[in-house]
Amino acid sequence: MADGYLNDETWRYFWHPVCTISELEAADRGRGALLSVTLLGTELVIAKTASGVAAFDNRCPHRSAKLALGWVEGDSIRCAYHGWRYGTADGKCIEIPAAPNGPIPRRAQAIKYDCDVRYDLVWVRLNGDADTSIPGHTAWDDPSFKCVLGPSYTWKTHSARRLENFTDLAHFPFVHPNTLGNAGVQTYLVPDMDFRTEGELHYRYAPPEGARKAMNSTGNLSPLKYTDYTIRLPFGVTLDLTLQNGERAVLWVWATPIDATHCKSFWFACRNADLDGPDQPHIDTQMKILEEDIDIVESQDPEQIPHPMDEIAVGPDKVSLMYRKCLYELCHAMENGGEEIHRYLTTERDNI
Ligand code: FES
Ligand SMILES: [Fe+2]
C-alpha cells in the first residue's frame, strides 16, 4: 500500500475542512477571494464567487498556470496568464480572450470538486463515490453552547497520528503533568467502546480522582468528572467533557491530511456556561495544551502509522488499536470502491 501501512487514497472519499471562511476571505486582495490549499497532495483553489464557495484543481487546463493567481468575476474565475474564464458551476471555460470567435475546446474545463460550507469551515471531498457526509457537531447545533473557532494549525505528522494523540488517555501525566493531568497520577484505563453508524467510535473516559483536569467556563483548568469521546472516522473527534462542577465543555477537532506527512487541525472550544465571558482564555488554555503535545507527536517516526509489527501495543492502547483497525478496514474496503466504504460506515455492528 502507498504511504505506509494505510493507503491515503482512502481519505479522498471523505469530506475534510480545508480552510476557515475567514482564512478564505483574508485571501481577497481586492480581486475576489481565491485561496490555494492542499488536500491529500492535491493542490486546490478555493473560490468565493457570486454563487457561493467552490473548489477546483489549482491548475488552468490551458497552460497549467495556477488559477489562484487569477481573480473572481461574478460567477467565474479568470486565469491570470491568458485570461481564460471558467464558470464556477461546472468549471467549463466560457471565454478565451485571444480567440473570441471560438470554438472553445471541449476539454477546456477546470476540474471541480465537491465543496460545502459548514460551521464556518470550507469542506472539500475529492471523490464522491462513497456518499460520505460532513461530520456532525453537537455543540454547534445546541443553542445552550457557545462555540469559539480556534486558530487552525499545521503539524508535521499524518492526520491519523494527530487524531490518535487527541484520543490518547495514557499520556496526560507525562505530556501534560501541570495542565490536563497530574504528575504521578496514572490514568491507564481500558474503556468500553462501541461503533456507531457513519463511522463513529464512542467511549467514555472516567479518570481516577484527581487524575485529570479540563477547561472550565472561564477558560481555567478544573477537575474533570468524565469525557465522552466520539471519534468520527477517519480524522475527527469530539470530546464532550463534564466537569466536577457540573459544567460541560465540548472540544471538536478535525485533522485534515495535507499530504502524507502534514496535517492541519481545525477545532472549536465550546462551553455551556459563562456564555458572555471572554473567549480568549479558552483559546489560550487550549493552545498551551496543544503546545505540550507538538514536539512529541512530530517526533513520531515515521509520520504515518506503520505496520503493527513496527510498534508495540499493550492493553491500555485499546483506543489506538481500535482506531487503527477501523482505518485499516476502511483502506481494505476502498480497494473494492466507494460503495464498499459506504457499506462499511453504515453497517450496524456489535460493540468492539
Ligand atoms: S494558462 Fe491559464 S489562460 Fe493560459
Ligand atoms: Fe495531549
Q: Give the residue with greater pLDDT, 342 vs 181.
A: 342
pLDDT band at 4 (very low <50, low <70, confident <90, very high): low
Q: For the chain, what is the total number of helices (H) and then of strands (E)?
A: 6, 19
Ligand 1 pocket residue status of 85, Cβ below 6 Å: no
Instruction: Please give the DSSP secondary-structure letter assigned to residue 152.
Output: P
Whole-model pTM? 0.95
Q: How far is the CA of 78 from the centre of ligand 1 (A)?
A: 9
Q: How does pLDDT run across 79-93, given as a tens digit for each residue?
A: 999 999 999 999 999
Residue 332: per-residue pLDDT = 95
Amino acid at position 304, single letter: Q
Ligand 1 neighbourhood includes 84 CB (under 6 angstroms): yes
% of the chain surpassing 90 pLDDT: 80
How far is Cα 35 from Cα 46, in angstroms, rounded to an integer? 5
Q: Where are the alpha helices (DSSP H) in 115-256?
A: 159-167, 172-175
108 Cβ below 6 A of ligand 1: no
Q: Could you state, in order of their start, the residue ranges of all structural domains in the chain?
A: 22-113, 146-346
| Rg over CA atoms, the chain | 22
* Residue 94 cell numbers, joined: 466560457
22-113, superfamily in CATH? Rieske [2Fe-2S] iron-sulphur domain (2.102.10.10)
Query: Smallest Cα–Cα separation from 155: which of 253, 47, 248?
Result: 253
The cell 491570470 sits on which residue?
A: 80
Distance 290 CA to ligand 2 centre (A): 6
Tell me, using a 6 A CB cutoff, whether residue 252 lines ligand 1: no
Give the residue-averaged pLDDT of 232-256. 96
Nearest alpha carbon, ligand 1 atom 4: 82
| Gap between the Cα atoms of 255 and 323, Å rounded | 14
Angstrom distance (rounded) from CA 304 to CA 40: 13
Q: What is the DSSP string of 111-128?
A: -EEEEEEETTEEEEES--
Average pLDDT, the chain: 93
- From the CB of 65, is ligand 1 less than 6 Å away? yes
Q: Using an 8 Å Cβ cutoff, are 32 and 49 in contact?
A: yes
Question: What is the DSSP track for 299-338?
Answer: H-SSSS---GGGS---GGGHHHHHHHHHHHHHHHHHTT-H
Phi first, then psi: what are they for 75, rounded to 5°? -105, 25
Res 1: pLDDT: 39
Task: Identify the pLDDT of residue 173.
Answer: 86
Question: Does 81 sit in the ligand 1 pocket, CB within 6 Å?
Answer: yes
Concatenating the DSSP letter of every residue in 195-215 gives: EETTTEEEEEE-PPTTSBEEE
The reply to whether domains 22-113 and 146-346 share a CATH topology is: no
3-state secondary structure of 329: helix
Q: Whose CA is nearest to atom 1 of ligand 1?
A: 63
pLDDT interval class at 69 (50, 70, 90): very high
Domain 146-346 has CATH 3.90.380.10: yes
**Ligand 2 mean position to 262 CA, how many Å?**
18
Number of other CB atoms surrounding residue 333 within 10 Å? 20
Encode pLDDT of 134-188 as tens digits: 999 999 999 999 999 999 999 999 999 999 999 998 898 899 988 887 777 776 6
User: Is residue 302 pLDDT above 50, yes or no?
Assistant: yes
| Helix axis angle, 338-346 to 318-334, nearest 10° | 140
Per-residue burial over 204-239, b if 16 or more Cβ lie within 10 Å, else e, is ebebeeebbbbbbbebebebbbbbbbbbbbbbbbbb
CA 100 to chain centre: 43
With a cut of 80, say whether residue 295 has pLDDT above it: yes
Q: What percent of the chain has pLDDT over 70?
A: 97
Give the confidence band of 215 by pLDDT, cuts at 50, 70, 90: confident
* pLDDT score of 217: 84
Ligand 1 atom with least separation from CA of 83: 3
Task: Indicate whether 46 pLDDT > 50.
Answer: yes
Query: Which of 97-106, 218-227, 289-298, 343-352 is predicted least confidently?
Result: 343-352
pLDDT in tens, 173-211: 899 988 887 777 776 677 888 888 889 999 998 888 777
* Encoded amino acid at 341, one letter: I
End-to-end CA distance of the chain: 26
pLDDT at 2 over 50: no
> For residue 200, what are the CA distances in angstroms to 247, 327, 330?
25, 12, 13
**249, 181, 275: which is closest to 240 by C-alpha?**
249
